[in-house]
Structure 1
C-alpha cells in the first residue's frame, strides 16, 4: 500500500463538496493550537492508536504537516496500517494558510 499526493486546490474542492475524509495534522501541539484546517484533528504517538481503531479503513485520510515533507512518511505508515486511500497534502499547512487565510481555525 502506498499514499498519494494531494494538492491544495483538490483539498479545497473536497471540503467545499463536503466530501468525507479524515484530516489529520501531525504538527506539534502548539502549532496546531495556533491554527489548523477546520475539521482536522491532531495526530501524534499518543492519539494514533485511537485514530486507527475508530476510523474506517475505507475512509480517505489526508495527512497535513508543515510543508508536505514529514506528512509523506506518516501517510506511507498509515497506508501500511490498511487505510485504502491515504493522501499527503503537498505544501502542507504553511501553503494552505498562505492560500486560504480565511480557512484557518485556531
Structure 2
C-alpha cells in the first residue's frame, strides 16, 4: 500500500516538474515561425546547439555551432546584450539552452519552431 502511494506521489511530482519547466520555458523563450526567424536572425547571434557532426551535415547559413553539451563552458562567446536566435534539430535542446543562457544574463532569446528539420531556407552543407 505504501509503495503504491509513494509511486503515485513520485509520478505527480514528475508531472508537476515538467509542467513547471514547460511554462517557465515559454516565459523566457520566444518561439518563432520560419518567416519570423528569417526576418530577424541576421541581426542576432545565430547559435546552432546541435552536436558538431549534425552541424557538419548541414546548418543555417551564418550559424555558429555551440553544442548544448559545451554551452556552459563557452558562455563567454555569447553577448548577453544582443538578441540570441537558437535552433537544434527539433526544438527541445534549444529550449534547454535558453534556460541556461537566461540564468546567465541573456534576456532576448528566440528559437526556431520545429527546429532545423522544419527549416526551408538557405543552408550550408
TM-score range, shorter chain: 0.7 to 0.9
Number of the residue aligned with 1:61: 84
Structure number with greater CO (CA < 8 Å, separation at least 6) is 1
Contact 1:2–1:80 (CA under 8 A) maintained in structure 2? no
The structure where helix makes up a greater share of residues is: 2
2:28 and 2:115 mapped to 1: Cα distance?
19
TM-score by length of 1: 0.80
Q: Structure 2: state its 5+ residue gaps.
A: 1-26
TM-score by length of 2: 0.69
Question: Does 2:117 match 1:105?
Answer: no
Two-structure CA RMSD over aligned residues (Å): 1.8
Question: Does 2:65 match 1:42?
Answer: yes
Question: Does 2:37 match 1:11?
Answer: yes
Ranges of 4+ aligned residues in structure 1 off by more than 6 Å: none
Q: Whose radius of gyration is greater, 1 or 2?
A: 2
Q: Structure 1: state its 5+ residue gaps.
A: none
